Amino acid sequence: MEKATENGPNGAHSGRVGPTNPMVTPLLTDQYQFTMFYAYWKAGKHNERAVFDLYFRRNPFGGEYTIFAGLEECIRFISTFKLTEEEIAFVRESLPPSCEDGFFDYLREVDCSDVEVYAVSEGSVVFPKVPLLRVEGPVAVVQLLETPFLNLINYASLVATNAARHRFVAGKEKMLLEFGLRRAQGPDGGIGASKYCYLGGFDATSNVAAGKLFGIPLRGTHSHAFVSSFMSPDEIIDKSLHSSDGSSICEDFVSLVQKWLSKIQWSGSSHGAFGETNQSELAAFTSYALAFPNNFLALVDTYDVIRSGIPNFCAVALALSDLGYKATGIRLDSGDLAYLSCEARKFFVAIENDFGVPGFGKTSITASNDLNEETLDALNKQGHEVDAFGIGTHLVTCFAQPALGCVFKLVEINDQPRIKLSEDVSKVSIPCKKRCFRLYGKEGYPLVDIMTGENEPSPKVGERILCRHPFNESKRAYVVPQRVEELLKCYWPGTSDKAKEDLLPLKDIRKRCMEQLEQMRPDHMRRLNPTPYKQVSVSAKLYDFIHFLWLNEAPVGELQ
């Protein structure tokens, strides 16, 4: 049904605290977080103050940008984080019997009141290696958050990015509908997809639960089964329909439809393209129009689009028009969507001309059926007349790349910077508690993201600063920023006295995302072979420190 459902700024959901999915509990984590917790506790280290960075190493889908999403759910999660007695009993059962009782007493006290979370704003355009979250707190507690935070952010950011990419290819003018619930990876794979596809630029979803939870506009009409559940128009019992303005009543809408059908058949519009249309389809369309005279949208490919679906639709739509209603449109769910949409458009235009029905030529055409970035692009190249796309499987399961690889790395403990080495340089972590800035150039585009040590002076507008690649000494550039944006903001201050950023309603996050995407230099956004965003960089001081630490930690080889 073509109708938005919005319950206040953030849907009916806005009143709730805690995670959207009640299954997101402190036990939604890896077992090793609890074994480590015990080992930290046993060593008396559990309260040591640690800093972890959450980041990804590579943009998904071969692109050069990512949309950050999932933050609100992380904050909801820690806002109510506390193990129940039942959960503690289970943890005890799952650990070796030698674990000491005192630990479980301690677990009872654990919450996130002493944790601080700094994050990029949800819906932002983000790049590899720059922390999306910096999480500080007692090492053992922050460790427990690793798995749920990654789980809540990885898919959210992935599917929001996928939605943004689909929007980019479809263009701003098209209506994009998320139809993926039935193929999603489980129930909240579906609900999450609906939320984050909306964030990434979709207009509506078919998922009723997501509509209710998040205030996302809902769309939906009928399926093939509805069409084939009818046998013929004879079975329609109540054939009457009031006119749109309520002034009159048509006692036999079924006959009115039949009349229009034969007019169309003998008119020039049809070019003699069809004979007898399918009667079960005609019955289904007529019935659906009787139920929703203001919202008549028909799925026209159950039998044959050109020879049955479109003429049947037009007959019903013209009958509705007689009574002052305007039909919404058709949906195509199979076949050559470019060709069929063009044929449908021609037919609608011919009807408008032949029968003098103003606006009929602009009747909306929705296309669905296994769409993805490539097929949207191909449709654009072929030329088509589709106004709205319903996209499911490829969108919500992120078929082209179904996982984003965010990681959560220790960068400092007890004020000591830590580095994670790897034989693969791209996997070496960037140590230290850091601040992150986005530097903008003269034309308003973001130029580079730079990380600095916590106590370094911030980059300043108009002041030249050296930006260095963290691991490649020859890659460096001076930048004179025209605008400087600090990326990590405080979303959970813990016991610090930092001001806490508000979590915005989903619609506002979506708006931020759309604005940030607008702001990017277009060549970063191209679907194929995009220009990389300037390699994420570090300050000269941080660069030197990283390399000092690296040499210190790496073993010296011995050639033999």
By CB under 8 A, the residues from 77 to 116 that bind its own copies are: 87, 90-91, 93-96, 98
Nearest to 552 by CA among 447, 417, 398, 380: 417
**Nearer to its own copies (CB atom), residue 95 or residue 378:** 95
How far apart (Å, rounded) are the C-alpha atoms in residues 135 and 75? 11
Contact flag: residue 48 with its own copies (CB under 8 A): yes
549 binds its own copies (CB under 8 A): no
Half-sphere exposure of 465 (CA within 13 A, CB side): 31
Which residues, in sequence order, are bridge partners of residue 409?
Answer: 53
Of 130 and 218, CB closest to its own copies = 218
The least CB distance from residue 459 to its own copies, in Å, is 29
Length of the chain equals: 560
> Candidates 48-56, 57-65, 348-356, 439-447 — which segment interacts with its own copies by CB under 8 A?
48-56
Stretch that binds its own copies, among 304-312, 341-349, 442-450, 533-541 (CB under 8 A): 304-312
Q: Mask 458-497, x = binds its own copies (CB under 8 A)? A: ----------------------------------------
Q: Which residue has the tokens 């919005």?
A: 6
Nearer to its own copies, 130 or 419 (CB): 419
Residue in this structure with the two tokens 């206040």, named with its chain if needed? 8
Tell me how far apart the alpha carbons of residues 333 and 313 are, in angstroms, rounded to a whole number.
15
Does position 15 bind its own copies by CB under 8 A?
no
| Out of 13, 82, 307, 527, the residue judged to bind its own copies by CB under 8 A | 307
Q: Which of residues 115-144 bind its own copies (CB under 8 A)?
A: 139, 143
CB atoms closer than 10 angstroms to residue 439 = 22
Residue 44 binding its own copies, by CB under 8 A: yes
Q: Distance (Å, rounded) from C-alpha 331 to C-alpha 293?
A: 17
**Strand bridging mode 133-138 / 465-468:** unpaired
157 near its own copies, rule: CB under 8 A: no
Q: Which residue has the tokens 């230290």?
A: 432
Binding map of its own copies across residues 249-278, x = CB under 8 A, - = no contact: -----------------------x-xxxxx
What is the strand order of the sheet 49-55 is part of?
Answer: 416-417, 407-413, 49-55, 133-138, 116-119, 489-492
In the numeric block, which tokens belong to residue 448? 């580079």
Convert residues 423-452 into a mask of x (bound to its own copies by CB under 8 A) and - (unbound). Answer: xx--x-------------------------
Please give the Cα distance from 161 to 61 (Å, whole number): 9
Query: Who's near 310: CB < 8 A, 6+ residues apart?
Result: 300, 330, 343, 344, 347
Site string for its own copies, 234-253 (x = CB under 8 A): -xxxx---------------
Pick the binder of its own copies from 8, 39, 57, 102 (CB under 8 A).
39
C-beta of 485: minimal distance to its own copies in Å? 29
399 binds its own copies (CB under 8 A): yes
Quick note: the x/- pattern for its own copies over 216-235, rule CB under 8 A, is --xxxxxxxxx-xxxx---x
- Beta-ladder partners of 408: 54
Contact 199, 504 (CB under 8 A): no
